[in-house]
Structure 1
């Protein structure tokens, strides 16, 4: 199968993957900008830097650094997946599994940091459950589809 035939097969549900990578990169970039730029509506820097506040916890600065670098990492992974997808690389299915695994691990570490430090941004049980559901549900659909579907096999394997 040559390269032009493979490009004609690209479409259907696989287009949703491209859209999701773009949305992830955009949302992650906006989150990074909120961390880096202390806007009036974002009191993160005030909460982690004001020693006189009751909610001050020296663990928060570590959380902000972790959050910043993990989001940058997710942006880079999203861009890499987008490029692998558009080039129809045979490494895309493996990279997608790695991407979802990394996102799930980052989610677990984020909840751990937020719960241990008990700061003002600590998530509620509903937030934890909804984020965990999204982190498990989306890969639960995409990973089997990418690894088992005939269309994916035509595009990425051959």
Structure 2
């Protein structure tokens, strides 16, 4: 299990949750204003926000404390890595679909989606950091603590 007694992880998870709420609000507003007629990338960013707020952040905060059986160090790394890939794919795809900044002019949902892409990029960096920290913690952890029995060489 990764070290969650450090407040750094709680701070990073809190910022990830706040950025996910911002992305969720911005993409949800765009979907609402356009009556749901929008690109799949906006829906994917909406999914990223929901995934992060309701699945990932509660899992990383609650599972190591209350359900350590499902908080194995490599599962934590895998969930972090998958979420990092989700955010990377989401913000890149959304930024490509939106194009340059001049294409939005004064249309509010488009400007909100530009902000959602930016906050998605910030969240990707945060998940990259937590993935690296979790991987370093998993690699440092001895898989079987205590004295190890000698291994037998079979010719």
TM-score by length of 1: 0.57
For 2:107, the equivalent position in structure 1 comes to none
CA distance in 2, matches of 1:70, 1:133: 14
Describe how 1:29-48 pairs up with structure 2 within 5 A.
Answer: 29-36=21-28, 38=29, 44=30
The alpha carbon displacement at 1:103 in A equals 2.1
For 1:61, the equivalent position in structure 2 comes to 39
Report SS of the residue matched to 2:39: helix
CA distance in 2, matches of 1:22, 1:146: 22
Give structure 1 stretches of 5+ with no counterpart.
1-8, 39-43, 50-57
TM-score by length of 2: 0.57
For 2:80, the equivalent position in structure 1 comes to 100
Q: CA RMSD in A?
A: 3.7
Change over 3 Å in CA distance of 1:18–1:112 after alignment to 2 = closer
User: What number of residue pairs does the alignment pair up?
Assistant: 124
The alpha carbon displacement at 1:146 in A equals 4.0
Asked if 1:72 is matched to 2:50, the reply is yes
CA distance in 2, matches of 1:133, 1:74: 14
CA distance in 1, matches of 2:60, 2:140: 18
Q: Which one has more relative contact order, counting CA pairs under 8 Å at least 6 apart?
A: 2
Change over 3 Å in CA distance of 1:86–1:147 after alignment to 2 = farther
For 1:5, the equivalent position in structure 2 comes to none
